[in-house]
Amino acid sequence: MTPVGLPHILLLSTALFFIGMFGFFTRRNLITMLMSLELMLNSVNINFVAFNKYLYPQNLSGVFFVIFIITIAAAEAAVAIAIIINLFRSSDSIDVTDAEEMKF
């Protein structure tokens, strides 16, 4: 059994990123889209941690970045959910195709 190396982890994060992207493009429900977005953010986080551990174990920049991203993502989720709630109040739906007034 080979030890877990950088390529394995990068494979995982790439898979996670594209699953999130696929979800973001295809789902119509705004909450699901938000979840997909979180998936993509987390794949980035994994990348940061992995590069930090395997390439530059002597410093902790990657880890700090991850903490920042988690914090920002939490705030962003709060804002996004607030938007979604307002959208639901005004149009009785959280379907993204129902909210396309902002066009030409």
Partner 1 sequence: MQNTNLVLLTLASPLLAFLLLGIFGSSSNWLKKGAGIIGTLLMAVSFFFASQLSLAYFLNQTPNHTQQILFSYTWLQFGSGLSIDMGALLDATSAMMLLVVTFISLMVHVFSLGYMHNDERFASYYAYLGLFTFSMLGLVISANIFQIYMFWELVGVSSFLLIGYYFNKQSAVAAAKKAFIVTRFADLGFLIGILTLGYYGESFDFLTLIGRLSDVQSPQFAAIGVASFAGISALTWGLLLVFMGGAGKSAMFPLHIWLPDAMEGPTPVSALIHAATMVVAGVFLVARLFPIFAIAAPHTLDIIAYIGIFSALFAALIACTQTDIKRVLAYSTMSQIGFMMFALGVSGYGAENGAGFSASLFHLFTHAFFKSLLFLGAGAIIHYVHSNEMEDMGGLRKHMPITHISFLIACLAISGIPPFAGFFSKEAILHAAYQSNPAIYYMALFTSFLTAFYMFRLYFSIFWSTQKAAQDNAHGEGTWSMKIPLILLAIASVLFGFIPFSEYVSTDGKPIATHLDVLFSIAPVTLGVLGILLAKQLYQKASVKPQKIALALGSAYGFVKNKFYIDEVYQYITKKMLFAWVARPAAWIDKNIIDGFYLLLAQLTQFSSVYIKGIQSGKVQAYAMYFFAGILSLASLLFYVLK
90 binds partner 1 (CB under 8 A): no
46 close to 9: Cβ distance less than 8 angstroms: yes
Nearer to partner 1, 3 or 25 (CB): 25
88 binds partner 1 (CB under 8 A): no
Site string for partner 1, 12-51 (x = CB under 8 A): ---------x--xx-------x------------------
- The contact set with partner 1 (CB under 8 A) reads 21, 24-25, 33, 96-97, 99-104
